[in-house]
Amino acid sequence: MSLTNEQYDAIMREYDEIRFRNAELTEKKVRALYEKFPELQAWENRAVTLKARKVRMMLDGASKTDIENLEDEATMLLVKRVALLEANGLSEADFEPIYDCPDCKDTGYIYDAKGNRSKCHCFKAREINLLYDQSGIKNFLEKENFSKLSLDYRTGDDLEHLKGAVKICREFIGNFDSEHRNLVLSGTVGTGKSFLSCCIAHDLLESGHSVIYLSAVSLFDKLAGRQFRKDEEESGTGLSELYDCDLLVIDDLGTELTNSFVASSLFSLINERELRGKSTIISTNLDLGGIKERYSDRVLSRLTGNYTFLKLTGPDMRTLLH
């Protein structure tokens, strides 16, 4: 999954509006030039007439001399047009259509020499921006990505655990489209669980994948229906997106008020995403025993059977920075 049909249609409507706006601007620009230099309009009209006449003459079998005389007149019109434009600091470029993106001419797509269509860079930028907006963590990712990663605050086994986790996270990203994997990032507060989750989310969003990032509290509030409709209307993140997005990140599992509904909903969600081949990342302060106690054997079985566990250790890095 990347864009939903609704999201794709919204982008294409935006391109329609851009082309309409630029067509009006182009028409206004050209009209102003013809009003300032009316002879340009007259010469262009004459050139169109000559072109049509040439076709008729060729069909009627006119002499070569007559056709050459007509071509000479057309050439003289072009010479006069170029001379007038140059004398006034203008060129044919001043009559060309206006585009926000000249590469795709505001269509969103470009074509190679064989006629194969692919998304233009401007479409990909819109796609990524939309996916960022949907993810729920757009504002965090400027500070939480691999470019901000530092190993300076870990030593010994804590450092080795972090290095190992980073390696697996990078492999998770690199093999995302060819290898289905899930991760559980576990550890105490401030060991880097959420940071690494954001790093993965950042890189996958940048490559055009759909990511939804929710705290466990927000996730179960949504599943319970509290403010679900309002959130869905504002962000476009509904229940279907929780099942179908390329990556779902559940942050701080265990901080929510756990009950039978939460345990059942968690099992249903991770099980359904597994059936659909969609990847999930869970960060939690809980160990295996804590997961079993709070969410049942069924949840623990799904996690231990289908998820790679990454244990992060050490003191809270946020306290070390102050």
pLDDT tens readout for residues 253-268: 999 988 999 999 999 9
305 pLDDT more than 60: yes
| Residues 236 and 200 sit within 8 Å (Cβ to Cβ) | no
139 pLDDT more than 80: no
13-48 pLDDT per residue, tens? 999 999 999 999 999 999 999 999 999 989 989 989
Domain 136-320 is in which class? Answer: alpha beta
Q: How confident is the model at residue 234 (pLDDT cuts 50, 70, 90)?
A: very low
Distance (Å, whole) CA 180 – CA 274: 9
3-state secondary structure of 103: coil
Distance (Å, whole) CA 266 – CA 138: 25
Distance (Å, whole) CA 300 – CA 105: 53
Q: Which strands form 211-215's sheet, in the order they lie side by side?
A: 211-215, 247-253, 279-284, 183-186, 308-311
Distance (Å, whole) CA 36 – CA 83: 15
165-215 pLDDT per residue, tens? 999 999 999 999 999 999 999 999 888 999 999 999 999 988 888 888 999
In terms of C-beta density within 10 A (0-12 exposed, 13-18 middle, 19 or more buried), how is residue 249 classed?
Answer: buried
* Closest C-alpha to 195, from 229, 154, 231: 154
Cβ neighbours for 111, distance < 8 A, ≥ 6 positions apart:
117, 118
pLDDT at residue 5, rounded to an integer: 80
Cβ neighbours for 68, distance < 8 A, ≥ 6 positions apart:
none
Farthest CA pair distance, the chain? 98
Other residues' Cβ atoms within 10 Å of the Cβ of residue 250: 25
What residue spans define the domains of the chain? 5-111, 136-320
The pLDDT > 90 percentage for the chain reads 57
146-157 pLDDT per residue, tens? 888 888 878 899
pLDDT at residue 2, rounded to an integer: 59
Q: How confident is the model at residue 12 (pLDDT cuts 50, 70, 90)?
A: very high
102-111 pLDDT per residue, tens? 999 999 999 9
When pLDDT is averaged across residues 158-164 and rounded to a whole number, the result is 93
Mean pLDDT for all residues in the chain: 88
When pLDDT is averaged across residues 310-318 and rounded to a whole number, the result is 84
Half-sphere exposure of 162 (CA within 13 A, CB side): 23
Range 286-305 burial, b when 16+ CB lie within 10 A, else e: beeeebbebbbeebbebbee
286 pLDDT more than 80: yes
pLDDT at residue 318, rounded to an integer: 62
The two three-digit tokens of residue 127, written as one number: 């796609």
In terms of C-beta density within 10 A (0-12 exposed, 13-18 middle, 19 or more buried), how is residue 108 classed?
Answer: buried
Q: What backbone torsions phi and psi does residue 135 show, to the nearest 5 degrees?
A: -65, -35
**Global confidence as pTM:** 0.68
pLDDT at residue 319, rounded to an integer: 60
* Closest C-alpha to 53, from 41, 43, 66: 66
